[in-house]
């Protein structure tokens, strides 16, 4: 007969074995599979100011590992960069992507750009990361932007203030890691968002849009202009005078971040997945790298919407350099053909940044002012055109509640509502 002590020991041993197996199963489920192995490039500095990039690189790798993201060892990536003499770390081209995949086994690469690093009280920190698949033609599959300040949530008696830039940047990096881990776990189950409207039946050209704007004082036939956004009177000449009249039913406050005017041909969406290429924006602001930052934030919102395949910006940059494409004053028809046909893109997005202002100190407000256009490859028509302008204190009246403290957070809201209008605009006209 088996003694009670032996039986109890066997039972405890079995329980411990089951518990260990469960722990292993949970751990394995939390980690991305081998197909999600990620190479992490050193952080690119687009802030225009000195920043401890080495420390940030180390912290980012540590935070990703701690979160459970399966990354390639930093030493392996450094060896690859040195051996292939990779000089541009703000993007990746087709050739480098193929070599990185073959030599490190990585299926994707994490590219991170530092937008703002300010350790003056209150500190401010902005970062934007994107995950690029290492396919034949790399595309962006995930993006996350963080724009935070030490006085974002001061709370009662200032108990929520953050005065240490290290604590603030740690908070930002944790946010990036959690979002990337969530994507890694759900990448195989994510699907494109459903198309919310049928392809439009209008075929408007830019000349038609200009005629409509010039005839704004005449009584317009809603049926003939139902694809237009707001049209404003001549005396509303400055962005500060522009009203926000379109109301978002789900979130009325988002109406504050509507473009001040837009044109939508209603032909951007079709009953098939389309590829979009974002070519470099023109920088008319006083801030260095403002054009690159604006393009990144727009790309982030397009990726988040899961409507288009968004080509990697480094691929487009490399293709333009190889083809000696120079854009001195806008996009020409040959440029549209060169870029879209060579990359197999259906749409081309371009724009101009007029202002991209981050500020220092308490009570200061960022400012963002930009325009954007989308061109169709097949007939070279403009399918979308918009102008957006906002400040961090828009709609703020009491105790700074709702004030936005960084240009990154502000432009994210503006780009999110812009893409929402791009995809879901019902074609109504506001005057």
What are the tens digits of pLDDT across the range 131-158?
A: 999 988 899 999 999 999 998 888 777 7
Classify 12 in phi/psi space as left (phi over 0), alpha (psi -120 to 50) or beta.
Answer: alpha
Residue 419 — φ and ψ, nearest 5°? -65, -35
What are the tens digits of pLDDT across the range 206-258?
A: 555 455 444 433 333 333 333 444 433 333 333 444 445 444 445 544 578 99
Residue ranges covered by each domain of the chain: 34-186, 206-424
* Token representation of residue 300: 């982030």
Residue 228 — φ and ψ, nearest 5°? -95, 150
Classify 266 in phi/psi space as left (phi over 0), alpha (psi -120 to 50) or beta.
Answer: left
- The yes-or-no verdict on residue 26 having pLDDT over 80 is no
Tell me what pLDDT residue 31 has: 40
Looking at every residue in the chain, the average pLDDT score rounds to: 80
Q: Is 102 in contact with 134 (CB distance < 8 Å)?
A: no
- The pLDDT confidence band at residue 16, using thresholds 50, 70 and 90, is low
Q: Is 310 in contact with 140 (CB distance < 8 Å)?
A: yes
Say how many C-beta atoms besides its own lie within 10 A of residue 244's C-beta.
Answer: 17
**Gap between the Cα atoms of 94 and 137, Å rounded:** 6
Residue 181 — φ and ψ, nearest 5°? -65, -40
Among 287, 294, 237, smallest CA distance to 260 is for 237
What are the tens digits of pLDDT across the range 313-371?
A: 999 999 999 988 887 767 777 888 888 888 889 999 999 999 999 988 776 799 999 99
Write 319-325 long-range contacts (CB < 8 A, 24+).
Answer: 319/93, 319/343, 320/279, 320/280
- Domain 34-186 shares a fold with domain 206-424: yes
DSSP state of 270: B
- The yes-or-no verdict on residue 17 having pLDDT over 60 is no
Tell me what pLDDT residue 63 has: 97
**Gap between the Cα atoms of 405 and 412, Å rounded:** 12
Instruction: Determine how β-strand 367-376 pairs with β-strand 347-357.
Output: antiparallel
DSSP three-state, residue 250: coil
What are the tens digits of pLDDT across the range 398-426?
A: 777 778 999 999 999 999 999 988 887 64
**Gap between the Cα atoms of 61 and 13, Å rounded:** 38
Sign of CA dihedral 70, 108, 114, 171: negative
* Token representation of residue 327: 């854009």
Third-level CATH fold of 34-186 = Rossmann fold (3.40.50)
**Gap between the Cα atoms of 336 and 257, Å rounded:** 30
- pTM (predicted TM-score): 0.79
- The pLDDT confidence band at residue 10, using thresholds 50, 70 and 90, is low
* Token representation of residue 357: 């202002």
Q: Which CATH superfamily is domain 206-424 in?
A: ABC-type transport auxiliary lipoprotein component (3.40.50.10610)
DSSP three-state, residue 34: helix
């Amino acid at each position: 007969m088996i003694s009670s002590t032996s039986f109890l020991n066997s039972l405890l041993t079995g329980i411990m074995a089951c518990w260990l197996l469960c722990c292993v199963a949970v751990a394995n489920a939390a980690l991305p599979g081998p197909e999600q192995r990620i190479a992490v490039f050193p952080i690119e500095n687009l802030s225009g100011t000195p920043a401890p990039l080495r420390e940030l690189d180390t912290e980012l790798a540590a935070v990703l590992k701690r979160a459970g993201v399966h990354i390639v060892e930093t030493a392996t990536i450094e060896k690859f960069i040195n051996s292939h003499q990779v000089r541009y770390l703000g993007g990746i081209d087709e050739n480098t992507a193929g070599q990185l995949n073959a030599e490190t086994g990585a299926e994707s690469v994490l590219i991170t750009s530092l937008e703002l690093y300010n350790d003056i009280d209150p500190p401010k920190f902005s970062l934007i990361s994107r995950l690029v698949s290492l396919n034949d033609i790399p595309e962006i599959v995930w993006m996350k932007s963080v724009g935070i300040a030490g006085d974002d949530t001061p709370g009662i008696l200032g108990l929520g203030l953050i005065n240490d830039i290290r604590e603030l940047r740690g908070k930002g990096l944790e946010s990036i890691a959690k979002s990337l881990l969530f994507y890694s776990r759900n990448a195989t189950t994510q699907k494109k968002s459903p198309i919310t409207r049928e392809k439009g039946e209008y075929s408007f050209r830019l000349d038609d849009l200009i005629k409509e704007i010039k005839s704004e004082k005449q009584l317009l036939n809603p049926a003939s202009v139902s694809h237009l956004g707001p049209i404003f009177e001549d005396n509303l000449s400055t962005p500060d005078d522009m009203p926000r009249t379109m109301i978002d039913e789900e979130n009325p406050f988002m109406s504050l971040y509507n473009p001040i005017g837009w044109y939508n041909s209603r032909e951007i969406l079709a009953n098939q997945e389309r590829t979009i290429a974002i070519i470099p924006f023109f920088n008319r602001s006083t801030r260095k790298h403002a054009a690159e930052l604006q393009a990144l934030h727009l790309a982030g919102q397009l990726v988040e919407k899961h409507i288009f395949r968004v080509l990697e910006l480094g691929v487009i940059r490399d293709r333009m350099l190889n083809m000696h494409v120079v854009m001195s004053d806008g996009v020409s028809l040959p440029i549209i053909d060169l870029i879209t046909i060579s990359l197999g893109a259906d749409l081309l997005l371009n724009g101009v940044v007029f202002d991209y202002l981050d500020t220092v100190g308490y009570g200061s407000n960022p400012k963002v002012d930009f325009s954007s256009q989308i061109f169709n490859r097949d007939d070279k028509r403009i399918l979308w055109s918009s102008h957006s302008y906002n400040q961090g204190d828009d709609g703020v009246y009491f105790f700074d509640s709702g004030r936005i403290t960084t240009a990154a957070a502000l432009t994210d809201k503006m780009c999110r509502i812009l893409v929402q209008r791009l995809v879901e605009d019902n074609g109504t006209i506001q005057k």
